[in-house]
Amino acid sequence: MSSLVLMVAKDLRRRLRTPVGLIVLLIFPLAFAGMVGTAFGPSSGSGSGLPVITILMVDHDEDLLSNALQNATGNEQFSQQFDLVWIEVEDEARRMMDNGEASALLILPENFTTDLLDGKQVTLSLVKNPAESILPQVVEEMAGVLGVFLDTGVRILGEPLKMAGEMFDGVEDDSSLFPDNQALVALTLQAATQIRPISRYVFPPAMVFDTVSENDVALATLLQASPGDTTDDLLRRQATAAGNEELTDAAADDNGFNIFAVLLPMVSLMSILFMGDNGMRDLLAEEKAGTLTRQFASPAGVGRVLAGKIILTLVICSAAMLILAVVGMALGWISTSISLVGSVLQVGAIALAATGMSSFIYGFARSHRAAATFQSALVMGMSMLGGSMVPLSQMPDFLKAMAPYTINYWGIRGLTDLTVRGLGVADVLQEAGVLLLIGLLGMAIGWWRLSRRYALGANA
Amino acid sequence: MIRVDDLKKTYGQHVAVDGISFQAAKGEIFGLLGPNGAGKTTTISIISGLLEATSGTVTVDGRTMSPTASSVKKVMGVVPQETALYEELTARENLRFWGGLYDMSGSRLKKRVGEVLELIGLIDRSDDAVKTYSGGMKRRLNLGLGLVHEPRLLLLDEPTVGVDPQARLSILDVIREAARNGTTVLYTTHYMQEAEELCQRLAILDHGKILAEGTVDELKKMVGEGEIVTVRGSFTAQQMHQALEGHPHVHAVSLEDHQAMLSVAGDGGTARLLQDLLGQDLEVNGVNVQPPSLEQVFIKLTGRELRD
Ligand SMILES: Nc1ncnc2c1ncn2[C@@H]1O[C@H](COP(=O)(O)OP(=O)(O)O)[C@@H](O)[C@H]1O
Ligand SMILES: [Mg+2]
Q: Which domains does chain B have, with CATH numbers?
A: 2-220 (3.40.50.300), 226-291 (3.30.70.1150)
Range 280-309 of A in CB contact (< 8 A) with B: 289-291, 293-302
Tell me B190's DSSP state. S
Q: Which helix (H) or strand (E) holds B56?
A: strand B55-60
Report yes or no for ipTM above 0.95. Answer: no
Q: How far apart are CA A268 and CA A411, in angstroms?
A: 9
Residues of chain B with C-beta less than 8 angstroms from the C-beta of A22: none
From B84, B87, B101, residue closest to A3, measured CB to CB: B101
Three-class secondary structure of residue A194 per DSSP: coil
pLDDT score for B291 = 83
> What is the structure's pLDDT at B68?
85
> According to the model, what pLDDT value does residue A239 have?
41
Which ligand 1 atom minimizes the distance to the CA of A460? Answer: 1
Domain ranges for chain A: 2-41+257-455, 53-202, 214-247
pLDDT tens digits, A102-141: 888 888 888 887 777 776 767 778 887 877 766 776 677 6
**Measured between alpha carbons, how far is residue A95 from residues A53, A89, A99 in Å?**
18, 10, 6
pLDDT of A46 higher than 80: no
Helices A259-280 and A368-385: crossing angle in degrees, nearest 10, is 170
| For residues A182-202, average pLDDT | 39
C-alpha–C-alpha distance, residues B133 and B135, integer Å: 7
Q: Where are the alpha helices (DSSP H) in B156-207?
A: 165-180, 192-198
Query: Which residues have C-beta within 8 Å of that of residue A194, sequence separation ≥ 6?
Result: A39, A40, A44, A46, A48
- pLDDT value, residue B241: 87
Q: How confident is the model at residue A238 (pLDDT cuts 50, 70, 90)?
A: very low
pLDDT in tens, B21-55: 999 999 999 999 999 999 999 999 999 999 989 99
Q: Which residue has its alpha carbon closest to ligand 1 atom 25?
A: B37
- Residue B223 CA to residue B250 CA, distance in Å, equals 11
**What's the mean pLDDT when you consider all of chain A?**
74
CB-hemisphere CA count at 13 Å for B81?
14
**Which runs of E-coded beta strand occur in A160-233?**
207-212
Range from A161-165, A371-375, B176-180, B219-223 carrying the lowest mean pLDDT: A161-165
Average pLDDT over residues A15-34: 81
- Please tell me the predicted confidence (pLDDT) of residue A438: 97
Residues 1-20 of A with CB under 8 A from B: 2-3, 6-7, 10, 13-14, 17-18
Q: Does A219 touch chain B (CB under 8 A)?
A: no
CATH says A53-202 is which class? alpha beta
B220 Cα–ligand 1 center, Å: 28
Give me the phi and psi of B204, to 5 degrees please.
-95, 125
Closest atom of ligand 1 relative to the B158 alpha carbon = 21
Helix (H) or strand (E) holding B155: strand B153-157
Q: Around Cβ A153, how many Cβ atoms within 10 Å?
A: 18
Find the A356 Cα to ligand 1 centroid distance in Å.
35
pTM tops 0.80:
no
B74 contacts on A by Cβ (under 8 Å): 299
Using a CB-CB cut-off of 8 Å, the residues of chain B touching A295 are 101
Whole-number percent of chain B with pLDDT over 90: 60
Report the residue among B8, B9, B11, B202 best suited for mutation to probe ligand 1: largest number of ligand atoms under 8 A from its CB.
Answer: B11
pLDDT band at A75 (very low <50, low <70, confident <90, very high): low
Q: Looking at residues A351-370, what average pLDDT do you find?
A: 92
DSSP state of A264: H
Residues of chain B neighbouring A11 (CB-CB closer than 8 A)? none
